[in-house]
Amino acid sequence: MQKYYMTFSDECPKYIQIANNIRKLIEQEILADGEKLPSIRELAKFLKVNKDTIISAYKLLSQEGAVVQILGSGSYAKKKEIIRSFKKEYRETFKKLTSGGLKEWIDFTGETTSANFVPVNNLKKAINEVLDRDGAEALIYQDVMGYEKLRDSINDRFWNNEVSLDNILIVSGAQQGIDIISKSLINVNDNVAIEKPTYIGALNVFKWRKANIIEIPMEEDGVNIKLFEKILKRYKIKCFYMMSYFQNPTGITYSKEKKKKLLELSLKYDFYIIEDDYLSELIYDDSIEYYPIKKMDDHNRVIYIKSFSKIFLPGIRMGYIITPDEFRESFQISKSNTDISTSSLMQRSLEVYISKGYWTNHMEYIEKEYHSRYILMKTILENELKDLVDFIDPKGGLSFYITIKSEVNKNSKELFYILREKNTFITPGVMFYKNSKDGENTFRLGFSQVSSEKIIEGLENIYQGLKGR
């Protein structure tokens, strides 16, 4: 029993600390693969905690796949090499897709707009105008906050000049924005709440910061608020990362009621909301109103992130953060330490692109193009695959999140391998969870990189794969 000995800190839930310790024992092979763990009663007595704490720790480890619980027998250590191997294999496959290493494929993994929709001609006009106007000045480093005219255009076009320019920080895409916020806000063992499931990139950043990650399950209009408040009553949460529109991967959009409640909770329990405004330009249904939480934020509780990369220029990383006053300086320092400043030429070109009205025209164009793909995929899912899968209609965005019905004898990892043989690629749900065992019956289908013909062909391959043919 001595190898289970540990001391507890006050900042993190005890069950998470116990789970972390047991996981470390397994990874370091102090606990052998298949070795039986102490009973709940024994470990609770040894660590001087209540039994519910041990139950929660064992349940968490079981969800991760680090422990196998056998009814009437006990809990046993288990290495996670299979899941890790799958995630590694998926990433390698994805690299081949994005690098052009695989030909004639059907790519349902895409999260960004198609290269066919990149506004090359108008972008060339904007770049040429900048070079003619500014000359070499366009190629030097900008102020760390970003090109002032671009920040002014963002404020005017998207925020009705209601935001202080000093609080708008230009960043190299949403991923860098999340990283900058994490470095400035999150310390080792801080508690960070996230949606369950969530965006892979954000999850990896919080893991890298060695935060204690607490998942809040998603419902059809946002996270489970009642469960979230129970967690807030027990633990000090530093921040909550969320995607208000067409959440990645579920496609869920938050209701206005839940947005208001989240703001109330942030004030009551003193935490910050990191709002990743993901794909809100692509709304296909009038029932969805564009109103980010940041527009409702009267007390500076929301850190807002917006990327132009997903829908505008995927290869040119560009976005911005709206910072609360108290983090302005630390965010600037973190940005400067990362890459000094984002491309001056592209900042100036984007400013021209927005001010000339090209942005509005481009958004109208891609909304029309993607709306038709959305309708096509939705129609096939509802009619041809209705006996095999369920899904929540996202009513916007670039993907569907699919749940395989329980009577279908397949999980999403098995389907991934079947489809790979047909040069068709999906993103299995396990990629979006902290714990490896979650999401095995789900997968994401993106339609941004596939033509209508490929959508029809790819969904037929999925149908055949789920039917075992």
In this structure, the answer to whether residues 449 and 355 fall within a common structural domain is no
| Structural domain includes residue 102 | yes
User: Residue 429: which CATH number?
Assistant: 3.90.1150.10
Q: DSSP string spanning 110-138?
A: --S--GGG--HHHHHHHHHHHHHHHGGGG
Assign 373 a pLDDT band (cuts: 50, 70, 90): very high
In this structure, the answer to whether residues 193 and 283 fall within a common structural domain is yes
Q: Count other C-beta atoms under 10 Å from residue 18's C-beta.
A: 24
In this structure, the answer to whether residues 281 and 337 fall within a common structural domain is yes
pLDDT for 222 beyond 90: yes
In this structure, the answer to whether residues 68 and 150 fall within a common structural domain is no
Mean pLDDT of all residues belonging to the chain: 88
Instruction: Give mean pLDDT, residues 258-274.
Output: 98
The 10s digit of each residue's pLDDT in 291-335 is 999 999 999 999 999 998 777 776 677 899 999 999 999 998 888
Pairing assessment for the beta strands 212-219 and 399-404 based on DSSP bridges = unpaired
pLDDT for 469 beyond 70: no
In this structure, the answer to whether residues 188 and 219 fall within a common structural domain is yes
User: Percent of the chain having pLDDT more than 70?
Assistant: 92
- Side chain identity at residue 9, one-letter code: S
Q: Is the Cβ–Cβ distance between 12 and 18 less than 8 Å?
A: no
Give which of 453, 462, 364, 357 is closest to 419, Cα–Cα. 462
In this structure, the answer to whether residues 368 and 317 fall within a common structural domain is no
For residue 388, what is the enclosing H or E element?
A: none
| Structural domain includes residue 239 | yes
Tokens read off for 23 = 């996981």
Instruction: Give residue 95's pLDDT.
Output: 64
Rounded to a whole number of angstroms, the CA Rg of the chain reads 24
In this structure, the answer to whether residues 71 and 87 fall within a common structural domain is no
User: Residue 351: which CATH number?
Assistant: 3.40.640.10
| Structural domain includes residue 38 | yes
User: Residue 18: which CATH number?
Assistant: 1.10.10.10
Instruction: Give mean pLDDT, residues 208-213.
Output: 90
Distance CA 289, CA 310 (A): 20
pLDDT for 426 beyond 90: yes
Q: Which of 326, 359, 392 is the last residue of a domain?
A: 359
In this structure, the answer to whether residues 97 and 45 fall within a common structural domain is no
Give start and end residues of each alpha helix (H) in 117-198: 120-134, 148-159, 174-185
| Structural domain includes residue 73 | yes
Instruction: Give residue 247's pLDDT.
Output: 96
Q: Is the Cβ–Cβ distance between 403 and 389 less than 8 Å?
A: yes
Distance CA 18, CA 14 (A): 6
Tokens read off for 334 = 């973190």
| Structural domain includes residue 114 | no
Tokens read off for 87 = 């995630």
pLDDT for 10 beyond 90: no
Distance CA 207, CA 199 (A): 13
In this structure, the answer to whether residues 353 and 438 fall within a common structural domain is no
Instruction: Give mean pLDDT, residues 422-427.
Output: 92
Instruction: Give residue 12's pLDDT.
Output: 72
Instruction: Give residue 451's pLDDT.
Output: 92
Instruction: Give mean pLDDT, residues 425-438.
Output: 84
pLDDT for 374 beyond 60: yes
Q: Is the peptide bond before 249 cis (omega within 30 degrees of 0)?
A: yes
The 10s digit of each residue's pLDDT in 124-183 is 898 899 999 988 888 876 688 899 999 999 999 999 999 999 999 999 889 899 999 999
- Our CA dihedral for 120, 126, 128, 131, rounded to 10 degrees, sits at -140
Counted domains in the chain:
3
Q: What share of the chain is helix, strand, coil (3-state, %, to 5)?
A: 50, 15, 35
pLDDT for 99 beyond 60: no
| Structural domain includes residue 15 | yes
| Structural domain includes residue 115 | no
Q: Which of 328, 359, 390 is the last residue of a domain?
A: 359
Instruction: Give residue 89's pLDDT.
Output: 67
Instruction: Give residue 309's pLDDT.
Output: 79
The 10s digit of each residue's pLDDT in 37-65 is 999 999 999 999 998 899 888 888 887 77
In this structure, the answer to whether residues 229 and 333 fall within a common structural domain is yes
Instruction: Give residue 136's pLDDT.
Output: 85
For residue 263, what is the enclosing H or E element?
A: helix 256-269
Distance CA 31, CA 43 (A): 15
In this structure, the answer to whether residues 367 and 308 fall within a common structural domain is no
**Domain that residue 283 falls in:** 120-359
Q: Is the Cβ–Cβ distance between 441 and 402 less than 8 Å?
A: no
> Which residues fall within 8 angstroms of residue 100, CB to CB, at 6 or more apart?
none
Higher pLDDT, 397 or 173: 397
The three-state secondary structure class of 194 is strand
Q: Is the peptide bond before 197 cis (omega within 30 degrees of 0)?
A: yes
| Structural domain includes residue 72 | yes
Instruction: Give residue 11's pLDDT.
Output: 63
Distance CA 400, CA 377 (A): 9
Distance CA 107, CA 369 (A): 17
In this structure, the answer to whether residues 325 and 430 fall within a common structural domain is no
pTM of the model as a whole = 0.80
Instruction: Give residue 300's pLDDT.
Output: 94
Q: Which residue has the tokens 């984002």?
A: 342
Distance CA 108, CA 402 (A): 12
Assign 74 a pLDDT band (cuts: 50, 70, 90): confident
Q: Which of 359, 394, 415 is the last residue of a domain?
A: 359
